[in-house]
Structure 1
Amino acid sequence: MLDLLRFGSEGWGDEIASGAVMTLLVAVSAYLVGLFLGSGAAAAKLSGPAPLRWLAALYTTVVRGVPALLVIWLLFFGGSGLVTWVATLFGYGGRVELSAFAVGVAAVGIVSGAYATEVIRGAVRAVPKGQLEAARALGMGRLLILRRILVPQALRYALPGLGNVWQMTLKDTTLVSVVSLAELMRQAYLGMQSTRQPFLFYVTAAILYMVMTTCSEALFRALSRRADRGVRRAVSN
């Protein structure tokens, strides 16, 4: 039975491997989109004008309140129409079709961003206000405070939560199989359909997901230890 996982024309090893690579591509791209959206929404909630605060609150409330699969379906069926409408405003007369990869990255990124917003907002609030006040008293500008004090400290507080957001984003990529993107779960499903061996292909997919999540957890743990090095030295001294 394991011969079905061989590489080459007689096995499904190539397809499973390419599906795992596609899963990582979608997850990394969506995570970066989520960090961008989450940083913007967190900034709006913390210090933006009232309309932006309301918009950011609406974004996080709605997206966290509906299933991720529904977000994917909405973008899959309505995304091309929305982009086409925007394109007509710039004089383009044709229809714009979004690829399954673009839909998957956008949908998972939107969901990831909603959760990253709260992680980043909480991390910024955890930075002691006294340090910011001291920096202002020393005459440091906003950009310098942001670069030297706020971002490094907030990143240290945010890393554990952002690690959880990454794990969630990685697992949410399984939902992208509904738009026929050839990621890991889609390839496992096709292999199961072709060979009638569901246990083999789904266990293989589970093992690969465990490898990816375990390696990711070790990476974020190492990043957290690195971010905490100066703090531990200061406490020990």
Structure 2
Amino acid sequence: MAGVPEVKVVVAHQERATLRIGDVFLKIDADSGRTDVEVEAMAIAPVPTPEVLWRQPPVLALAALPGTALGRLGEPSTASSAAWTAVGAAVRKLHDAPLPPWPGRDRAELTSQLDAECEWLVRDGVLPTDLVARNRRVAEAALRPWTPVFTHGDLQITHVFVDGDEITGVIDWSEAGRGDALFDLATLTLGHEERLADVLAGYRADVDLDVIRGWWSARSLLAIRWLVAHGFDPFAPGCEVDVLKSRL
């Protein structure tokens, strides 16, 4: 078996899994609709994306991107300020692009989901009532009408790759659609608030910081139940629960 590349599990949970074999990523997802969105979004996004090597449902094969991830939630990012600024510029280019032909989640849907998650967090004793209530109030700033733009929809720092000061690509486009530009910016800087100024230097647009803070709270509240159910730890240092505590 000499010369056979090692199979590495990048992420795996009940919904999907990603494996790396040499310089190829295999994404396995039983929901073909998510993969349809991912492939189409990468084809039309005006930013670097992985090359699609082949697709045979439920598997999508993508070429690995050069460089390394911008960072990880809960860990300091070693990427340069210039790299974060370059990412901000790329995000602005995406948001300035023509809208994708499919919709995203609307404000009413997000509000209903957020209220349901807050109720669960309190009812099941996952988080203190005052912590949830405070962040739900902060989140209200994000739930205002917005002008839809082409959003990535899950722009975590692990989904953005850089090499030195340059962005080399963005992965995981299955949540792409029409959405709020500030949701992408907030997702990118979640847990890395100190990098927001660098991102905005590249984004070059006036941004309501209360809305960014609102999305930090909303995204964290929305994510906790899913993370726990899929084997992740939102209570780890620097992760979602700490983001919520930082609002107190």
Larger Rg: 1
Q: Same fold (TM over 0.5)?
A: no
Q: Normalized per residue, which structure has more strand? A: 2
Instruction: With the length of structure 1 as denominator, give the TM-score of the two structures.
Output: 0.24
Q: Normalized per residue, which structure has more helix? A: 1
